[in-house]
Structure 1
């Protein structure tokens, strides 16, 4: 007898367990979802989840902007 694992046919969460919401962009720095998307994920149907997943790659660059940090402070006149 083979062990069959029951699987649901749905879009998996993009969560990578780095749950920090960027203060100005208002998206998670780990998965790039909004707080609303994260809280509603379990209630979304497959098409809604797929739509969110399709948008995530476009959000990543929004978090790449750095304000300068220590190096910027040291270079100020």
Structure 2
């Protein structure tokens, strides 16, 4: 994925928090992502780790596990 997106291709919304399990964005944020200015996207991406932690969600790790 691009460095300008937090998407990790795990697109599932938590019914309780309304946040994507993969990236921490809401559906409205995901829908307007490409219409946002780059500065707005970067500012939102900076908030996502804390947002997910506050919601009790762990960032989804897409890195392959070592053998």
The answer, yes or no, to whether TM exceeds 0.5 is: yes
Structure (1 or 2) with the greater helix fraction: 1
List gaps (5 residues or longer) in structure 1.
Answer: 1-10, 65-77
Aligned pair count reads 55
Structure 2 distance, partners of 1:55, 1:34, is 12
Query: Of the two structures, which has the highest relative contact order with CA contacts closer than 8 Å and spacing of 6 or more?
Result: 2
List gaps (5 residues or longer) in structure 2.
Answer: 58-67
- The answer (yes or no) to whether the contact 1:29–1:63 under 8 Å persists in 2 is no
Q: Which has the larger radius of gyration?
A: 1
Alpha-carbon offset, residue 63 of structure 1: 3.3
Question: Structure 1 segments of 4 or more deviating over 4 A?
Answer: none
Structure 2 distance, partners of 1:23, 1:48, is 25
From 7, 18, 29, the equivalent of 1:15 is 7
Root-mean-square deviation over aligned CA pairs: 1.7
Q: TM-score, normalised by structure 1?
A: 0.64
